[in-house]
Amino acid sequence: MSQNITTHTDKKLPLQGAGGADHAALADIFNKDEDRVNWHDETLWWIRAKRDLSVHKIPEWEALRDTASAIKNNVLSNLNSYLQQFEANAQANGIVIHWAADGAEHNAIVHSLIKKHNVTRMVKSKSMLTEELHLNEYLAENGIDVIDSDLGERIVQLAKEPPSHIVLPCIHKKKEEIGELFHQFLGTPAGNADPQFLTETARHHLRETFLSRKVALTGVNFAIAETGEFVVCTNEGNADMGAHLSDIHIASMGIEKIIPERKHLGVFLRLLTRSATGQPITTYSSHFSKPRDGQEMHIIIVDNGRTVQLGREDFRNSLKCIRCGACMNTCPVYRRSGGHSYHNAISGPIGAILAPNLDMEKYADLPFASTLCGSCSNVCPVKIDIHDQLYKWRQVIVQNGYAPTAKKLSMQAMATTLASPFAYHMAGKAGRLVMKYAPFALNNKLNPWYKQRDMPKPPDESFGEWYKKNRKAP
Amino acid sequence: MTVGLFIPCYVDQFYPGAAIATLQLLEKLGVNVVYPANQTCCGQPMANSGFEHLTGGCNELFIKNFAEFDYIVAPSGSCVLHIKHHIHDEKQPEKAASVSHKIYELTSFLTDVLKVTSLPAKFPHKVGMHQSCHGQRGLHLSQMTELVAPYYSKPGSLLNMVEGIELIELNRADECCGFGGTFCVAEEAVSVKMGKDRVADHLKHGAEYITGVDMSCLMHMEGILNRQGSKVKILHIAEILNGGPLNP
Ligand code: SF4
């Protein structure tokens, strides 16, 4: 199980299977290379710092966040009517609408559209949703060749890895490693890791792709109910190139991507890239409202567990997410464990509250991969209470029986001791309570505290004992 | 006004100095302080591990010990936050609610209730202040770097009343140290890495002492400092505000 993260076998699959390594184990592997951790942490911190600089230039920033959150609240409370309004308006514009309950349905729709046009190749841009639905593997199994056209996505595709970040998919890769991949797959000279050169090479390589693919798939950042159009935000313009040159444009969107009116877009566009990278706005915010003459345009509206999450009162706010990635950049755990340690398409704090909704057993570890520091909730442009949801997921996961037995037993012992002053004082005397039960008792084989940290030196007497001697009893 | 002093379990057992300083400091400021002998723990270690349903006994005991006081004060942001947000008791909901309203973290009690403007303390050293997340982001003890809002710091304003103290600036003003309760053992690798980085930021800026409002974060950083053989010491903020560590 541990090799998966370092050797990257053929398949682009989540890194944890049933019974596979959990976040702590994968993070432990990542931390074997401290220089890489430092570099990963500093790169992402630099982006977080850019975000801070840019948002502090906007005095109304917190009001914008409140507004965005309120718009999304409205959306989540009236999702069905906005979706129907969107469908009707999009159809009136000549767009074909499909509904998919889950990944299997979505992937089958994409496949049938490709088959109908008798091609075996597709170009794709800006879609984390298709990562969530494992579209690439599905199409590969059906003989369809998919090229991810965004540079970062393309790099992880060549490396046969999943993206490690929703906005910066190959942030875990150093430029030397990218140079090596390009050397191997695109024939660039060995040892050349000049970012400018590599980007140029990728551009040439992808240009051929755009010209020769008839089918293009993009994601959707915002779908506007009022007009039936959708907006795709990119920095490289690849989504536009793919979509404009194709005979058929398929857009995949989760049901939560809807916003009511065009005027609301300004709020989200101001928040999105400032939160993501500190840019004032994405280089391209492309509106797609109808197919051009001779082109087909399809939108697949996907549920895949979202209505279940909508029904979980404590967690429905997670559907407000606009996928800016700010919570990952700021997360001190993410920065030091890497995106792959979350073994899920969406990593980081937001992934940790979305994933257990899809499979509580498989992702039972993720809500615990946090110190609950709360930085994620503070940067989130739509004010998702991420760290509070992490706390609540922990309760739900334990209640549903996904806690390890050893942990259950030690927690029970601790609860009993701490509920009784007598037992507490006895335990304290017998070996200093905390050493006996918490948090060290969770692992009996080794003491994970002591591995890289000294234990506190036990004092001669506890405060309680000191107080009894030095102050009158109340 | 009578204040019930809540000393979290691990402070009671491992860091009595921080508790004594808290008590002495409050007494110096003229507060009538009582330490109920039968207290144990706020219940947070269970709750944050997903076992909030096992905290009933702790909650009941806490309410029994503290419901009668005008205020409850504790030298720990994290435990105070837990009591504020999560204490509940179906049999006596009003008492549970009143406890959660009356509890204060030490520095916010000093600034918001006692409105302290000067302190008889001297500490001529370079000190790094660790902003513990639960106190800062949970209890709003100081402004957070993520938010677009004016700067303030309750612990910082108190430390600035100490004669001779030199507070150092950090590169990352409010990054988490990685303690995180059971996180520190369940996610040992990341926790230690976070702690090492946090400590390094203080060392880089010449700290002789690292202080903060949460002994748990400090315990974690102390463990790392000691393992590295560093001479830099940790001190709970109460000890500095009380004029330095106790001489036994
Ligand atoms: S949860 Fe918030 S911060 Fe994280 S990606 Fe989504 S919108 Fe951005």
Tell me: do A420 and A292 sit in the same domain: no
Does residue B170 belong to the interface with chain A, where contact is any CB pair within 8 Å?
no
B141 located within any domain? yes
A149 located within any domain? no
A174 located within any domain? no
Tell me: do B83 and B12 sit in the same domain: yes
Q: How confident is the model at residue A185 (pLDDT cuts 50, 70, 90)?
A: confident
CA-nearest residue for atom 6, ligand 1, is: A321
Cβ of residue A324 lying under 6 Å from some atom of ligand 1: yes
Residues in chain B within 8 Å Cβ distance of A55: 148
CA atoms within 13 A on the CB side of A350: 28
What's the rounded mean pLDDT across residues B69-90? Answer: 95
| Cβ distance of B37 and A454 shorter than 8 Å | no
Q: How far is the CA of A278 from the centre of ligand 1 (A)?
A: 14
**Mean pLDDT, all residues of chain A:** 88
Does residue B173 belong to the interface with chain A, where contact is any CB pair within 8 Å?
no
What proportion of chain B, given as a percentage, has pLDDT over 70? Answer: 99
Residue of chain A whose alpha carbon sits nearest to that of B11: A463
Q: What is the pLDDT of residue A151?
A: 84
Indicate if the pLDDT at residue A426 is higher than 80.
Answer: no
Tell me: do B141 and B84 sit in the same domain: no
Q: How confident is the model at residue B212 (pLDDT cuts 50, 70, 90)?
A: very high
Does residue A63 belong to the interface with chain B, where contact is any CB pair within 8 Å?
no
What's the rounded mean pLDDT across residues A80-95? Answer: 98
B211 close to B235: Cβ distance less than 8 angstroms: yes
Q: Which of A233-242, A274-283, A384-393, B96-105 is least confident? A: A233-242
| Cβ distance of B183 and A368 shorter than 8 Å | yes
A129 located within any domain? yes
What's the rounded mean pLDDT across residues A137-160? Answer: 89
Q: What is the pLDDT of residues B124-176, one digit of tens each?
A: 999 999 999 999 999 999 999 999 999 999 999 999 999 999 999 999 999 99
Tell me: do A96 and A236 sit in the same domain: yes
B26 close to B91: Cβ distance less than 8 angstroms: no
Residue B6 distance to chain A (closest CA, Å): 11
What's the rounded mean pLDDT across residues A283-291? Answer: 94
CA-nearest residue for atom 4, ligand 1, is: A327
Q: How far is the CA of A307 from the centre of ligand 1 (A)?
A: 19
B93-102 vs B77-86: helix crossing angle, rounded to 10: 150
Final residue before a domain boundary, out of A276, A304, A332: A304
Cβ of residue A351 lying under 6 Å from some atom of ligand 1: no
Residue ranges making up the domain that contains B63:
2-113
**Mean pLDDT, all residues of chain B:** 94
Tell me: do B106 and B159 sit in the same domain: no
Q: What is the pLDDT of residue A198?
A: 87
What's the rounded mean pLDDT across residues A303-313? Answer: 97
Positive or negative, the CA dihedral A64, A66, A72, A74 is negative
B residues 12..41 contacting A (CB < 8 A): 12-17, 19-20, 23, 34-41
Q: What is the pLDDT of residue A235?
A: 87
Name residues whose C-beta falls within 8 Å of residue A130's C-beta, 6 or more positions apart in sequence: A124, A136, A217, A219, A252
| Cβ distance of B137 and A374 shorter than 8 Å | yes
| H-helix or E-strand spanning residue A223 | strand A222-224
Name residues whose C-beta falls within 8 Å of residue A121's C-beta, 6 or more positions apart in sequence: A144, A145, A146, A147, A212, A213, A214, A215
Residue A36 distance to chain B (closest CA, Å): 12
Q: How confident is the model at residue A6 (pLDDT cuts 50, 70, 90)?
A: very low
Final residue before a domain boundary, out of A284, A304, A324: A304
How far is it, in rounded angstroms, from Cα A409 to Cα A404? 9
Per-position DSSP letters for A174-206, written without gaps between them: -HHHHHHHHHHHH-PPTT---HHHHHHHHHHHH
Q: How confident is the model at residue A1 (pLDDT cuts 50, 70, 90)?
A: very low
CA distances from B166 to B132, B154, B209 (A): 20, 16, 10
Q: Which of A21-30, A56-65, A152-161, A256-265 is least confident? A: A152-161
Indicate if the pLDDT at residue A19 is higher than 60.
Answer: no
Compare CB distances from B192 to A434, A438, A452 and report the shortest one's residue.
A452
Indicate if the pLDDT at residue B80 is higher than 80.
Answer: yes
Q: How confident is the model at residue A13 (pLDDT cuts 50, 70, 90)?
A: very low
Residue A134 distance to chain B (closest CA, Å): 29
Residue of chain A whose alpha carbon sits nearest to that of B229: A454
Q: How far is the CA of A359 from the centre of ligand 1 (A)?
A: 20
Q: How confident is the model at residue A236 (pLDDT cuts 50, 70, 90)?
A: confident
B237 Cα distance to chain centroid: 8
Q: How far is the CA of A322 from the centre of ligand 1 (A)?
A: 6
Q: What is the pLDDT of residue A15?
A: 42
Does residue B224 belong to the interface with chain A, where contact is any CB pair within 8 Å?
yes
CA-nearest residue for atom 3, ligand 1, is: A380
The number of distinct structural domains making up chain B is: 2
Indicate if the pLDDT at residue B246 is higher than 80.
Answer: no
A185 located within any domain? no
Residue B54 structure tokens: 């096992």
Residues in chain B within 8 Å Cβ distance of A31: 189-190, 193
Q: What is the pLDDT of residue A435?
A: 55
Strand partners, B5: B73
Cβ of residue A355 lying under 6 Å from some atom of ligand 1: no
Tell me: do A257 and A136 sit in the same domain: yes
What's the rounded mean pLDDT across residues A209-233? Answer: 91
Q: Which of A39-43, A307-311, A422-426 is least confident? A: A422-426
How far is it, in rounded angstroms, from Cα A370 to Cα A340? 15
Q: What is the pLDDT of residues A109-128, one digit of tens each?
A: 999 999 998 888 899 887 89
Residue ranges making up the domain that contains A439:
414-470
pTM recorded for the entire structure: 0.93
Final residue before a domain boundary, out of A304, A337, A372: A304
Q: What is the pLDDT of residues A313-343, one digit of tens each?
A: 999 999 999 999 999 999 999 999 999 999 9
Between residues A95 and A241, which one has the greater pLDDT? A95
What's the rounded mean pLDDT across residues A246-273? Answer: 96
Q: What is the pLDDT of residue A439?
A: 47
Indicate if the pLDDT at residue A469 is higher than 80.
Answer: yes
| Interface confidence (ipTM) of the complex | 0.96
The number of distinct structural domains making up chain A is: 2
| Cβ distance of A466 and B20 shorter than 8 Å | yes
Tell me: do B23 and B63 sit in the same domain: yes
B31 close to A390: Cβ distance less than 8 angstroms: no
Strand partners, A259: A224
B188-204 vs A34-55: helix crossing angle, rounded to 10: 70
Q: What is the pLDDT of residue A237?
A: 79
A48 located within any domain? no
Q: How confident is the model at residue A424 (pLDDT cuts 50, 70, 90)?
A: confident
Residue B221 structure tokens: 């950083």
